[in-house]
Structure 1
């Protein structure tokens, strides 16, 4: 009997942890407009098998489950814990109905980290921000209302996502830092969980800096140069042919002027591509040359239409047949660890080609023939570019890592990315109905369709597109330091992917392209794409190599924890408060153990 009681005691003790209680700001939609309110989040972590349980009361207006799963994933990666060996229990309580969803994602991540590490929380700090799979903190709405919520909760520090210091309200730009000062709340921008953690814990987990892999970088350069050579050659030849044709034909003043103007724009893009090629910026050169090619293709088929050489409906049918063929070729290729980046690029481009062709047909039936030709030409080239990508893989990939991927093994990961995309889109749409574009909704629908068809790598890619495009309108860029941060963060994620031998072509390409742009908002967007895609590579490799110790050791090295007092206010009092809570919970657990043990002993003795 004593052995039974001892085992019972150990089972309960090993599977029970002290609760971490953390406050978060939320927005309640009232008759008087949006109002900031504090909510309480309690987090327990126990030994388990990778489940995340959510309990909200009252029910939030948006599902928080997707954000909770991403939060648990990121917390595990930052702490070096295998989350497949834990269960996470999250209890959310609020006095009023609130708009939930992803805005508490970063806060939940902090709470899970503290539960895993048994760290106390500084209750004078509050934070808002979504949590992205790469550990970055994404933008949210209702910044000013949430600062007011921090004031109501007697918090003296409010952390907000980087890039959101300036808020536009009623056509007026408001500085969130100065707004907080008036309320006695210090507002600080943070870009990642690594930056936010010290404010809550007096502890800093340093993000490991991964070195660049010269072999992979060289391989990337070779692949992109081969692709760029092909597209530049095609575009330059097409430009010469169309220039001659325009000089020998006359289509009336308006058309002649319009086509000549488009040809000049194509020439500018080609010149830009040639300059970028000489600077060895092959991805950027490829993008510029491809955009020139789209214009040239459009001019070419507009001329054919004007001269009666080609009927638009026949042209679109031909494009449809070509895309159908291209799709069969792309999807006939086996997906392996060695080529999934290139195959994914092909699948993404086929999906885009189908979407563009759909727009072409809609324009045609509405009688807008110019747009029908433009979208049809773009669709045709998108389909062709899919073939370019998978062909490049066959030329440049070796057979050393050609194990075929069973795509069903990526279903769970695809579901996480899709949930996150859907939650973020719904969140933005709820707070700012006019900010969610048709392209965002189209990408989300494409992600859902791909998931239902079992195309899980395409699901992940389309989910990434959805997240980035939904987030960008929330960012009002003012600080150049933010760009430097994104640059460094993205490059380190790329280097991290290279550490395990992956050639993160998409991430490297987006990173290079971001650095070639002058527009700050576009730079932010492509830096985000870069880090998202690098994280995708890492996630896929981890998912497919769960039992591979070599892969695991590449990431799960001992974490570096540093004690710090950086910008922390009254942390000692918060620690005492948290310890008191822990003592109470410990007493309750002890009482339960004693009661259950006594009850069993009594039943046995009788």
Structure 2
């Protein structure tokens, strides 16, 4: 029996030999209040099919499991690895129960990166911070207690989320840097995993910077310029006609005041759109002109309702027929490598038009006719905009692609949306809205209907809206740079990322930080979608799209293919571990059988 136990111990040690072990700070509730404690996290990455397995003792809350999945995704993106080809095993051990678990997200990401790259860790560094899907590090609680945990773990450097240096304790501000100095610990703020990696590894990963593709940029400008001209022309003409009609009409003080207010607001939007057009901000000009059109359409049909020229029900039925026609146009377009962006934009807008029309009918049956007209006007124009988008690219020579090729990609986006929404719900249960749940349900519905492009788009909607609470106080410049890098990569693959460029341009034009963050997120997600779609369609071809990263060690820069260098070393190690484990397992089986036979004899 002693031999059996010895061999089992050897097996355990061999399986752990190729794992990364990293320490993280946590907070435990004791009779004396909250105290900082270090926890051990062991990470193994092997060949697999994209699963993330977690074993915690004592049991932790669901938010740590959500953090683990996000951590694996981010680690794969930063290192350029396809995590669908790996399984990640995370073992968390603590001597005492800890409160929550999302603050270990950034630490787990570092551990997975080091496991993927076969890098050793500086054991004297510790970090706290949640992990966001874009690689930024989010805020946590218990900063001071966690600095104390770093002291207990004999660490000399403690990384904390950017913006959390000054902690509010009973109404007083405590400087975490000065607090750390008293304990002999250097406290440093970091805003992203990219900033944290050098402290743990003495290496720096820099995403390969691609220059803007000016040919693609010019193509985008040409497309959007024509669209903005068309929308501006329609909106300006409608404004002139309605201005004259309102000057010669009167419908009572309240209605007159409301209609004139809406007309003034539409004029302001048109002036903004015209200026944006002059400034070559064509997507922004299109958005401003479109918003003016919604107001003008509402005014036009409110006037018809007030004069008795048109009843609300007839108007909504007309809108329904127009949307049905627009939908036929959109879904009649052949899907190609060159137009999937425009087709996706059209399908999204048709989906939105149908949802808006549903709201219009609800308002109508509740007797809220003004509101019904507003929703109906928005729905009508949203349907028309879908046709505008699918008409942007009319090259019929491009090869048609089978949308079923995007099924697995749609499933990945749907899984990612569910992971992120669940993760955010555990962190901020009171912030999850019905709109977010509706987007996720819409994504699932589209997937079941085999509308995989729409499923991807609705999944992106879910992710962006879910992530706002995670990054609303984050570094906007980081998000802007992250988005621009994604766009540049897409452009250098020969893609014209119309949606990503449009959202990026629009974000730059906004002053409200939350809105800027949201549209930078949309921009980066759509650029990544373009890249993913091209990869998915080309994965059976001999020419594949390889990711590259820049690794800097002691000032020396090295560009590495994600499919080379440490992956080979890592997989060799995994192979060795498997072979040795098999041998040891065989020995255990032999010894176990021998002992069993002796026992039965």
Q: CA deviation at 1:522?
A: 1.8
Residues 346-495 of structure 1: matches in 2 within 5 Å? 346-394=346-394, 397=395, 399=397, 402-475=398-471, 477=473, 482-495=475-488
Residues 221 and 282 in structure 2, CA contact (< 8 A), matched pair in contact too? yes
Aligned to 1:576: none
CA change 1:280–1:562 in 2 (3 A) is same
Residues 159 and 196 in structure 1, CA contact (< 8 A), matched pair in contact too? yes
The CA deviation string for residues 438-489 of structure 1, in whole angstroms up to 9 with x for no partner, is 33232222222222322222222222222222222344548xxx33333222
Aligned to 1:570: none
Q: CA deviation at 1:367?
A: 2.3
- Residue 267 (structure 1) aligned with residue 267 (structure 2): yes
Aligned to 1:237: 237
The CA deviation string for residues 257-282 of structure 1, in whole angstroms up to 9 with x for no partner, is 11101100100000000001011110
CA change 1:258–1:50 in 2 (3 A) is same
The whole-number CA distance in structure 2 between the counterparts of 1:305 and 1:169 is: 60
Which stretch shows the higher mean deviation, 296-305 or 28-37?
28-37
The CA deviation string for residues 541-578 of structure 1, in whole angstroms up to 9 with x for no partner, is 2222224454424x34x64332479xxxxxxxxxxxxx
The whole-number CA distance in structure 1 between the counterparts of 2:195 and 2:218 is: 32
Which stretch shows the higher mean deviation, 29-38 or 511-520?
29-38
Q: State the secondary structure of the residue aligned to 1:42.
A: strand
Residues 55 and 91 in structure 1, CA contact (< 8 A), matched pair in contact too? yes
Aligned to 1:516: 509
Aligned to 1:226: 226
Q: CA deviation at 1:332?
A: 2.3
The whole-number CA distance in structure 1 between the counterparts of 2:174 and 2:464 is: 24
The CA deviation string for residues 105-129 of structure 1, in whole angstroms up to 9 with x for no partner, is 5433322221122212234322322
Q: CA deviation at 1:235?
A: 0.4
Q: CA deviation at 1:136?
A: 2.7
Q: CA deviation at 1:525?
A: 1.9
5+ unaligned residues in a row in structure 1: which ranges? 1-11, 566-582
Q: What TM-score, normalized by structure 1, do the two folds share?
A: 0.81
Q: State the secondary structure of the residue aligned to 1:204.
A: strand
The whole-number CA distance in structure 2 between the counterparts of 1:509 and 1:73 is: 26
Q: How many residues align?
A: 559
Could you say what the CA RMSD is over the residues aligned between the two structures, in angstroms? 3.9
Residues 61 and 97 in structure 1, CA contact (< 8 A), matched pair in contact too? no
CA change 1:163–1:268 in 2 (3 A) is farther
CA change 1:243–1:541 in 2 (3 A) is same
Q: CA deviation at 1:96?
A: 3.5
Residues 63 and 100 in structure 2, CA contact (< 8 A), matched pair in contact too? no
Q: State the secondary structure of the residue aligned to 1:381.
A: helix
CA change 1:332–1:117 in 2 (3 A) is same
5+ unaligned residues in a row in structure 2: which ranges? 1-11, 557-572
Aligned to 1:128: 129
The whole-number CA distance in structure 1 between the counterparts of 2:104 and 2:459 is: 20
Q: State the secondary structure of the residue aligned to 2:539.
A: coil
The whole-number CA distance in structure 1 between the counterparts of 2:242 and 2:432 is: 39
Q: What TM-score, normalized by structure 2, do the two folds share?
A: 0.81
| Equivalent position to 1:151, from 148, 151, 156 | 148
The whole-number CA distance in structure 1 between the counterparts of 2:178 and 2:356 is: 45
Which stretch shows the higher mean deviation, 72-81 or 282-291?
72-81
Q: State the secondary structure of the residue aligned to 1:392.
A: coil
Aligned to 2:495: 502
The CA deviation string for residues 171-210 of structure 1, in whole angstroms up to 9 with x for no partner, is x897885797599676655444322211222211122110
